Amino acid sequence: MEKVVERFLKYAKEYTTSDPESKTYPSTNRQIIFMKKLVDELKDIGLSEVEMDKFGYVTATIPANGFENSKVVGFVAHVDTSPDFSGENVNPQIIEKYDGTPVELKNGVTIDPKEFPEILNYVGQSIITADGTTLLGADDKAGVAEIITAAEIILNSKNIKHGKIRLAFTPDEEIGKGTDHFDVKKFGADFAYTLDGGEIGELEFENFNAAGAKIKIHGRSVHPGAAKNKMINAVLVAHKLIGMLPANQRPEHTTGYEGFFHLMSLNGNIEKAELSYLIRDHDFSKFEEKKKLLREVVQLINLEYGSNLVELEIDDQYYNMLQKIEPVMYVVDFAKQAMEQAGVEPKIRAIRGGTDGARLSYDGLPCPNIFAGGHNFHGPYEFIPIPSMLKSVKVILNIVQLAGVV
């Protein structure tokens, strides 16, 4: 069990940040470098059918032991870290027996219980943080470490009876491309679990419906001294557009099942401006209404100026996995029972985001998401309690034994 910590500390130091601007797949070669190391490790601990394909997906098999005719269960985690914050030169550190006081890191970064009260749930436990200059990468290298540690335990135990188990490690999840080339049929699992959740006990089988919107605004640049009735300032048009969307439907004002419009970027000048938005909602009808509203806003602005001043492109990214999970709710029941057997209280909630599992579910592989144990992903305030990682490994071991009965 202790190897999960050793593995995570080693993996966290690997630079695997994905790049949303890249045109390659995977988006960064540094992910391939890490994947090759995983291939060697998986072979060393005795897994079968270890393979890395041309897209960087690493897969492996644990042959059946006692339940040869049962369904095949899979476990999936992604190796990339978010481009939202630096993932280079990560220096993980263990804080032994956390005492409930603010955790002082470099660069003035403080994990203060006043701002991050959830850390008080782990007083007395050892926790892992970065040093304040980078993110930690528990999203999702904790999941990678937990799956591989569980696999090694299974291979070395004669007492754990299970069916065939498939493992997969994916690139580019953080930029929404984690399953673009994933071959579900070749993977060969009947159902799977992503180890990509947060705090201990998380069990998720609902997620946002998601779309991305790109908006281009064509202004008209005229000398300001002669601009009356001639100039069209593209940045001010962008400001108008932003103001026409409901302010109470921004991420900072929403929670639970409430969706949002999230302005990701705004760049421009008088002549041209570009905006990118994320559109999210758990309810599909509300999701469609949000896309319709944005189209109507663009249409109104174009009518006001009497031209196609604003161009809009909306692309759906993924959908709520709930409707794909509901017909096979036993996969959720397995996870819930596995947690209870491990002494973990299941915390069933909807993901305010998405996982590889959402797209895999729509591709024919039902794939709920379970906790890996971390908090405050994508920034320097990230931390993960060591006991949560140990419990995650135990949950995997319990699932494979429960899954042997189907």
Q: Give the type of residue at 261.
A: F
Please tell me the predicted confidence (pLDDT) of residue 318.
87
Q: Find tokens 């946002």 and name the residue.
A: 208
Q: What is the count of structural domains for the chain?
A: 2
Residues 304 and 237 both lie in one domain: yes
- Tell which of 318, 335, 364 closes a domain: 318
We report the CATH number of the domain holding residue 81 as 3.40.630.10
Residues 200 and 218 both lie in one domain: no
List the one residue out of 399, 392, 401 whose CA is nearest residue 367. 399
**What span, in angstroms and rounded, lies between the C-alpha atoms of 74 and 95?**
33
Residues 217 and 81 both lie in one domain: no
- Tell which of 261, 293, 318 closes a domain: 318
Q: Are strands 369-371 and 191-197 parallel, antiparallel or unpaired?
A: parallel
Lookup: tokens for 90: 């990560």
Convert the pLDDT of each residue in 16-49 to its tens digit.
999 988 999 999 999 999 999 999 999 999 999 9
Q: What is the DSSP letter of 71?
A: P
Whole domain around residue 182: which residue ranges?
Answer: 3-206+320-403
We report the CATH number of the domain holding residue 309 as 3.30.70.360
**What span, in angstroms and rounded, lies between the C-alpha atoms of 235 and 224?**
15
**What span, in angstroms and rounded, lies between the C-alpha atoms of 294 and 313?**
10
Task: Give me the active site residues, please.
Answer: 80, 173
Residues 87 and 138 both lie in one domain: yes
CB 142 within 8 A of CB 383: no
Residues 187 and 302 both lie in one domain: no
Residues 176 and 240 both lie in one domain: no
Convert the pLDDT of each residue in 297-310 to its tens digit.
999 999 999 889 99
- What pairs with residue 75 in β-bridges? 167, 193
**What span, in angstroms and rounded, lies between the C-alpha atoms of 325 and 203?**
13
pLDDT category, 354, cuts 50, 70, 90? confident
**What span, in angstroms and rounded, lies between the C-alpha atoms of 373 and 201?**
8
Convert the pLDDT of each residue in 205-239 to its tens digit.
999 999 999 999 999 999 999 999 999 999 999 99
